[in-house]
Structure 1
Amino acid sequence: MPWGCFSVAGTGRLVRIEGKMNGAKYRDIFDENLLQSAQDLGLGPRFTFQQDNDPKHTAKTMQEWLRDKSLNVLEWLSQRLDLNPIEHL
């Protein structure tokens, strides 16, 4: 399964995920890839991050990681598939 990110500036890193994804593995992927992707894309320190409400995205370990990194997170509305940016890529 792949993990990737994108912005108006382009695409970030694409990571191959081995095994089952959980909150801890998701956090490790972020540690190794999200901030570096943002830097590579020239987003600057105040970019806004968006993700859906998948349980691994909303796990306590992820919420703490996002808070520790002081990331701006766009709140995701439940049942709003039409707002999913990947659907329009």
Structure 2
Amino acid sequence: MPGGIATGLQRRVDPETLKQYGKNSAQGAATTITAAFGKEWEGKGGIYLEDCQEAGPVPEGVAPHAFDLEDEKKLWPLSLTMLNLSE
């Protein structure tokens, strides 16, 4: 999760709203780069990162089905089948 990033994509967004975006492009890319190349994350899939570290507890308001482990186990093979991919 890169967070709110002020880029040219928001050129039509109200300036007051833009003040909520606390990162520039380089800062926003840092979490993605950390996840891709950070040795501490090597071989560890399924971890949600935010601000270059593992995110804390799930925020309130997130639907319970978003973390259904049984459905998660079904989704991956189904996704591979739908995309005609193999493990």
Normalised by the shorter chain, which TM-score bucket? Answer: under 0.3
Greater helix fraction, Structure 1 or Structure 2: 2
Greater strand fraction, Structure 1 or Structure 2: 1
Q: TM-score, normalised by structure 1?
A: 0.27
